[in-house]
Each structure stands twice: as structure tokens, then as C-alpha cells.
Amino acid sequence: MRLSELYLLDLPSEATLAFRVQGAVWEFTPQCCESGTAYLSYDSDTQRYNRYFIEHGWRAEYHVLEHAVWSVDSDGDWEADSCSVDDPLYEAFILTYEYPAIMASWGGYYEHVIKTKDDYLGEFFATDPVALRKAAKKALRQMKKDIQVDQDVRKPRLLQDPNGLIHHATYNRIHLWRTACGHYFPNEHKPESSVISCLACLGSL
């Protein structure tokens, strides 16, 4: 079974239709970043870390399912990186945006705060230098622990599925749940109730 077919099990029926019927196209593009995942990128020119938020999008057309990762910076500028889920390069593509990579992106910043006591991103409530350094050390320890726990969870899945198909399609898939208003709401976990409103509709009230 192709990886695209596993992903389609959790995407709306319109995506499957576009994938099966020539000439049809279905696309989900995030409109806001309120529910996005924060990660950091180091700028060697300014020697500072910049915060970004990532959201996931999808595009389906005849026999092609494309996974897009959108990133938005503090200025509201959006960029997209995408790859077909059946492309041999998809493994490397998705690893860039998986939980361990996102968590690790914060490690350098925590180490910076520990060394300089300068929290210019405002990640910690502490303002006293000693307390700030202590908080950053705790965050760094927790980050390493979380990555280890995440890897321990993945191991049995990868042993059962060496090709990573079930691993990607069940452990890291991005769900799209249809809301009461008919829009789609991206979430990594199924909500308690399917009767929910999307952010766009909440903003229009």
C-alpha cells in the first residue's frame, strides 16, 4: 500500500475523490497560525534566534498527494515547503518537521540563555539572572527528556513497520476534522465533540 493511500484514510472524502479522478483538485491551506507549532531558526547574520510557527496543508490531484508545511514569522510573512508523500525524499522532508526536530530547535536558545542570561524572546517569566538561568536549564533538561520519550515510543512502531508507512500514517498524521460550520479544522488529536467552530468563524462573531 502506498503511503498516500494511508494518509487519505484520515483526509476528507474530497481529497480521495481528487486523488482518484483525473482533473479534480482538492487543497487545504492554513489561514492562520494560532494553533501552529513554534520552532526556532538561527540567523548567522544577526546571530539571533527567530521564532516561527508551522502549520500543515495538503493538496490532492490525480494520483498525487502533496504535504505542505507552511511557516509564518513574527512579521506575518508566510513561506511553504512541500513534497509528495510518495516521493522517496518524503522521509527526509517530514523528519525536518517532526517533534524531535522542533524540540531540538529550542536547545540552542536555551543554551544561549544559560550562558548569557539574555532571554530576548521572552520565553521565561523569571527576570532575576539566577532564576532565569535555572529556568533555562530546567527547560533544556525537559526538552532532552521529551525527545528521548518520543524516540522510545517510536521504536516498537518502526520495528513492526521497517518501511515507516504505518509509523508516518498513524503516529504523525495531521487530521482535518470537519466543523459544524462546514470548514476544516486542523488538529493532531480528535476533539471531544465534532460540533466545534473554526477560528475563522469565531473571529467573525
Do residues 157 and 179 both lie within one domain? Answer: no
* Total number of domains constituting the chain: 2
Q: Are residue 19 and residue 42 in the same domain, yes or no?
A: yes
Which residues constitute the domain of residue 167?
98-173
Between 15 and 187, where is the model more confident? 15
Confidence of residue 153 (pLDDT cuts 50, 70, 90): low
Q: 10 Å Cβ neighbour count for 115? A: 10
Q: What pLDDT, on a 0 to 100 scale, did the predictor assign at position 201?
A: 36
Does residue 145 sit in the same domain as residue 180?
A: no
CA 183 – CA 202 distance, rounded (Å): 12
Neighbours of 11 (CB within 10 A): 22
Residue 124 lies in a domain: yes
- The C-alpha cell that represents 16 in the structure block: 480521495
Average pLDDT score, the chain: 76
Does 160 score more than 80 pLDDT?
Answer: no
pLDDT per residue over 86-133, tens digit each? 998 988 888 888 878 888 889 999 999 999 999 999 999 988 999 999
| Rg (the chain; Cα; Å) | 19
Q: Quick one: 146 and 189 in the same domain?
A: no
Residue 92 lies in a domain: no
**pLDDT of 186 over the 50 cut:** no
Distances (CA, A) of 117 to 44, 45, 98: 20, 21, 29
Same domain, 143 and 178: no
In a domain, 129, yes or no: yes
- Is 72 found in the same domain as 35? yes
Q: Are residues 25 and 39 in the same domain?
A: yes
Task: Specify if 91 maps to a domain.
Answer: no
- pTM check: above 0.85: no
Q: Does residue 93 lie within any of the structural domains?
A: no
106 vs 192 pLDDT, higher one:
106
* Co-location of 76 and 7 in the same domain: yes
Scanning the chain, the segments in alpha helix (DSSP H) are 3-8, 13-20, 90-95, 99-104, 107-116, 129-160, 165-166, 199-204
Residues 151 and 178 both lie in one domain:
no
% of the chain beyond a pLDDT of 70:
71
- Looking at the fold, whether 153 and 186 belong to one and the same domain comes out as no
Cα distances (Å, whole numbers) of residue 103 to 95, 139, 150? 12, 11, 11
In a domain, 56, yes or no: yes
pLDDT at 105 (0 to 100):
87
Residue percentage of the chain with pLDDT more than 90? 37
Specify the pLDDT at position 185: 40
Domain-located, residue 117: yes
Which CA distances in Å does 176 have to 113, 126, 186, 191?
Answer: 37, 38, 5, 11
Supply the pLDDT for residue 39: 87
Q: Are residues 114 and 62 in the same domain?
A: no
Are 63 and 110 found together in one domain? no
* Helices and strands (H, E) in the chain, number of each type: 8, 7
State yes or no: pLDDT of 81 exceeds 80: yes
